[in-house]
Amino acid sequence: QWGWEQKFLDKYKSMKADTCKPGETMNYKDPNYRSFGKILSWFDLTFVLFLFLISNSAKNTIMFGMSWHIFFMMNFMNPDVGVVEGPDSDWYDTDYFVVLTTTILGVIVAMIATGIPKARLTNVGHLVEDLDALSISITHVWEESVEYLTGSERSAKRFQIETQIDALSGKHLASQE
C-alpha cells in the first residue's frame, strides 16, 4: 500500500523492544546522563515552571506554557526516548515537528482570519447598540421610579414601571441564551 503502516509498526516494535523491563539495568544514550542528567533535568523543569508561575502572564498562557514544557521535558528526561538527533533520524516523525507545523499553520490561519473583513464576529457590531439601548431603558425606568416615589399619591404608574422592569428582565434573559 503506502508503506507508512509498516514503518509505524516497525517503529512501535523498536520502541517496545527498547524499553527497560523491571529489574533490568537502564542503558543511557548519553554517558553523562547517568551522573548529572537527572538532577539537571529536574532543575530545568522546576526553574522554568517557577518562572512561569511568577510571570505576570495570563492564566491560560501560563497553563499552556507549563503543559508544553512538561510534555517535552518528560521525553527529554526519559533516557529511552531522549531527543531525536542525527541525519538518519526521521525529523518529520517527531513531536517537535508536529508542534512546530501546527503552530505555523495556526498563525497563518489567524493572520488570514484577521485580514478578512467579513470574518469578524457578527454580534460584536451590534453590542454597542444593544448596550446603549439597555442603558437608556434603565435610565428611563429609574427616572420614572423616582418621579413616582416622590409623588403625592398612589397611581397606576407603578404598574407601568413594573412592566418596564419585567421587559428589561426579559431582555437580559434573552441576551444570555
User: Over the stretch 28-61, which tens digit does the pLDDT of each residue have?
Assistant: 566 666 677 778 888 988 999 999 999 988 898 8
Residue 1 has pLDDT above 60, yes or no: no
Pick 85 or 161 by higher pLDDT: 161
Question: pTM here?
Answer: 0.43
- Summary mean pLDDT of the chain: 75
At residue 17 the predicted structure's pLDDT band, cuts being 50, 70 and 90, is very low
At residue 12 the predicted structure's pLDDT band, cuts being 50, 70 and 90, is low
Pick 109 or 6 by higher pLDDT: 109
**Percent of the chain clearing pLDDT 90 (strictly above):** 8
Q: How is the chain split among helix, strand and coil, in percent rounded to 5? A: 75, 0, 25
Rounded Cα distance, 119 and 54, in Å: 36
Looking at residue 120, its pLDDT comes to 57
Cell numbers describing residue 104: 505555523
